[in-house]
């Protein structure tokens, strides 16, 4: 593993992962990814995907490790984690339901869809931010525009994209999550 450089403390909601260690297989994958770019910084997003793919989220320690690996400051990595909605700063459920709440979807029923999921899963529809069921199976979260505004309401379940989601279709999606 690369040595972690001294870093500035990060004041953020990133979850700590004290036992963070990069296994040899992931290290090899990351070493390969870095060689694909003319400068190390350009590999930032790919390293974030690789780390999240392995750990399920990007912890504070992971941000610091990636920054050290790419010879960046942690803030250079942290800003990517907070900017892109596909990255998670804390653990999420096995199935991550992301409901678009931007204007077209809001007008098309996304708030009702979000509430439907919350009620079905025993979560609070009024709560702010992502919520995860006690068994860790589902996380429900509002996100901003998913770039299919003409087919509202739009949502994602992990990487699967769903358009024009009715409550009936929402129940089917939950049923498909085994
Ligand atoms: S407003 Fe929902 S996809 Fe654009």
Q: Are 110 and 41 contained in the same domain?
A: no
Do 143 and 98 meet the contact criterion of CB atoms below 8 Å apart?
A: yes
What is the number of domains present in the chain?
2
pLDDT, tens only, 139-160: 999 999 999 999 999 999 998 9
Give yes or no: residues 58 and 120 share one domain: no
Is the CB–ligand 1 distance for residue 113 below 6 Å?
A: no
Q: Looking at the structure, tell me whether residues 30 and 63 fall in a common domain.
A: yes
49 with 65, same domain?
A: yes
- Report the CATH number that the domain containing residue 36 is assigned in CATH: 1.10.10.1590
40-64 pLDDT, tens digit each: 999 999 999 999 999 999 999 999 9
Rounded to 10°, the helix 44-55/60-69 angle is: 140
Distance 4 CA to ligand 1 centre (A): 40
Burial of 123 (0-12, 13-18, 19+ CB in 10 A): buried
Angle between helices 44-55 and 24-34 (to 10 degrees): 160
- Indicate if 18 and 84 belong to the same structural domain: yes
Asked which of 45, 60, 91 is the last residue of a domain, the reply is: 91
Judgement on whether residues 116 and 131 belong to the same structural domain of the protein: yes
Predicted confidence band of residue 1 (pLDDT cuts 50, 70, 90): very low
Q: Is 145 in the pocket of ligand 1 (CB under 6 A)?
A: yes
| Pair (64, 132) in one structural domain | no
Residue 154 in contact with ligand 1 by CB distance below 6 A: yes
pTM over cut 0.85 = no
Tell me: do 25 and 75 sit in the same domain. yes
Index of the ligand 1 atom closest to the CA of residue 149: 4
Residue 129 pLDDT class (50, 70, 90 cuts): confident
| Domain termination site, one of 91, 126, 161 | 91
Q: 99 CB under 6 A from ligand 1? A: no
CATH code of 146's domain: 3.40.30.10
Q: Distance, CA 2 to ligand 1 centroid (Å)? A: 41
Q: Are residues 75 and 42 in the same domain?
A: yes
- Which of 72, 91, 110 finishes a domain? 91
From ligand 1's centre to the CA of 156, what distance in Å? 12
Q: What residue numbers bound the domain in which 166 lies?
A: 95-176
* 105 close to ligand 1 (CB < 6 Angstrom): yes
Is the pLDDT at 9 greater than 60? The verdict is no
The CB of 165 under 6 Å from ligand 1? The reply is no
């Amino acid at each position: 593993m690369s040595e972690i450089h001294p870093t500035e403390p990060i004041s953020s909601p990133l979850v700590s992962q004290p036992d963070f260690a990069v296994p040899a297989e992931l290290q090899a994958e990351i070493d390969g990814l870095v060689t694909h770019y003319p400068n190390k910084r350009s590999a930032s997003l790919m390293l974030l995907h690789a780390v999240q793919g392995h750990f399920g989220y990007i912890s504070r320690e992971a941000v610091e490790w990636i920054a050290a690996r790419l010879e960046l400051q942690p803030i250079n990595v942290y800003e990517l984690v907070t900017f892109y909605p596909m990255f998670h700063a804390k653990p999420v459920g096995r199935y991550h339901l992301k409901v678009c709440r931007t204007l077209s979807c809001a007008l098309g029923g996304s708030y009702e869809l979000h509430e439907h999921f919350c009620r079905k899963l025993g979560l609070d529809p009024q709560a702010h931010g992502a919520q995860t069921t006690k068994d860790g199976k589902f996380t429900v979260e509002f996100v901003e525009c998913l770039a299919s505004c003409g087919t509202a309401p739009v949502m994602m379940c992990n990487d699967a994209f769903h358009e024009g989601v009715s409550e009936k279709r929402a129940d089917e999606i939950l049923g498909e999550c085994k």
